[in-house]
Amino acid sequence: MTPLEIAPGAVHVPGWLDMAEQRELVAACREWARGPVPIRHTVLPRGGVMSVQTVCVGWHWQPYRYTRTAGDVNGERVADFPGWMGDLGRRALTAAYGEPGDYTPDTALINFYDGDARMGMHQDKDEKSDAPVVSLSIGDSCLFRFGNTETRSRPYTDLRLDSGDLFVFGGPSRFAFHGVPKVYPGTGNPETGLSSGRLNITMRVTGLT
């Protein structure tokens, strides 16, 4: 539970979510995965397919913009961003930085990683806001690579994100490159409600209306 500063503005809080909270998040994500916009592998503009599966709430992300409706899936409007998730986001900021500020996330991207899924180094830069990103991990552990704002290569810090961990990146680290080079299958606790795989939830402020 002790916050670890990985880089200025980037804070890792191991074991932040208790088992009951993880179970509730898994149940909520499982429901969103069914619809109104079902979870799927995002297709990239040049035809590649992401290995993670993604479902969004509040705003629908597709490379490289946010919309209310999922034109690249089934045209439906995504589920509303729930008030309780905003509260969770403010609690996360308090855990990471000591105070919640005026944090009002309006979207969450929910990514499911099976044992072979990865996420390449990228910046979260489709938001029109520099408010922090709150990341929650549940299920299998992963190798998380947190880099710098200039290049997708070194210097970076490799850390392990376990089930229940919080990672917040804001301030000078808001636009740092980051990625998930590896998931460690079989490391999760089925008590979370996830029998395999890794769930990651990132809350963001889109800056859109």
- Tell me the C-alpha distance between 105 and 83, whole Å: 10
Instruction: Compare residues 56 and 180 and give the one whose CB is closer to ligand SIN.
Output: 180
Query: How far apart (Å, rounded) are the C-alpha atoms in residues 5 and 12?
Result: 6
Q: Which of 107, 135, 163, 206 binds ligand SIN (CB under 6 A)?
A: 135
Binding string, residues 140-159; x marks residues near ligand SIN by CB under 6 A: ----x---------------
**Contact pick of 57, 108, 180, 203 for ligand SIN (by CB under 6 A):** 180
Residue 166 binds which entry of ligand SIN, Fe ion, none, CB below 5-8 Å type-dependent: none
Q: How far is the CB of 167 from ligand SIN (least distance, A)?
A: 7
Closest distance to ligand SIN from the beta carbon of 204 (Å) = 9
* 69 vs 184: CA distance, rounded Å: 34
* Under 8 Å between Cβ of 9 and 170: yes
- Say if strands 107-113 and 198-204 run parallel, antiparallel, or are unpaired: antiparallel
Q: Which does 111 bind (CB under 5 to 8 A by kind): Fe ion, ligand SIN, none?
A: ligand SIN
Smallest separation, CB 178 to Fe ion (Å): 6
- List residues bridging with 79 in a β-sheet: 57
Q: Which is nearer to ligand SIN, 76 or 124 (CB)?
A: 124
Beta bridge partners of 154: none
What SS3 class is residue 129? coil
Query: Which residue has the closest beta carbon to Fe ion?
Result: 124
* Options 202, 203, 205, 206; binder of ligand SIN; rule CB under 6 A: 202
Contacts of 66 (CB under 8 A, 6+ apart): 59, 60, 107, 126, 127, 206, 208
117 vs 182: CA distance, rounded Å: 7
**Rule CB under 5 A: which of 118-137 touch Fe ion?**
124
DSSP strand pairing (166-169 vs 178-184): unpaired
For the bound state, the minimum distance from the C-beta of residue 126 to Fe ion, rounded and expressed in Å, comes to: 10
d(CA 86, CA 102): 11
Q: Tell the smallest beta-carbon distance from residue 122 to Fe ion (Å).
A: 6
Q: Which residues bind Fe ion (CB under 5 A)?
A: 124
List contacts with ligand SIN (CB under 6 A).
109, 111, 119, 135, 144, 178, 180, 200, 202
